[in-house]
Amino acid sequence: MATIEFITKEDLKQFRADLLQDLKEALRKPKLLESNKEWLKSYEVREILKISPSTLQTLRVNGTIPYSKIGGLMYYKNDDIKSLLEGNLS
């Protein structure tokens, strides 16, 4: 015999909150790649790639991601990040 599961109003509210959060996150991240910004800061690259600061540092050190350093800030070309994601950057 099949069991019946009930969905409460609280279940629906939680589902709605989770769905909205997921949609906000999904819509926010691609805008960084599609933006007209030529250069991205480290935090933006970490958000796009979903990586930690230490992983980004490793990618810089081993030459996977080209960057420019101005003062104490690292900048990355948006096109290089796109190429990396598409598998076209060596």
DSSP the chain: --------HHHHHHHHHHHHHHHHHHHHHHHHHHSS-SEEEHHHHHHHHT--HHHHHHHHHTTSS--EEETTEEEEEHHHHHHHHHT---
> What pLDDT was estimated at residue 33?
60
pTM of the entire predicted model:
0.61
Q: Is the pLDDT of residue 46 over 60?
A: yes
* Share above pLDDT 90 across residues of the chain, in percent, rounded to a whole number: 48
Q: Is the pLDDT of residue 21 over 90?
A: no
Q: Is the pLDDT of residue 90 over 80?
A: no
> What pLDDT was estimated at residue 25?
73
- Looking at per-residue pLDDT, the higher value among 63 and 86 belongs to 63
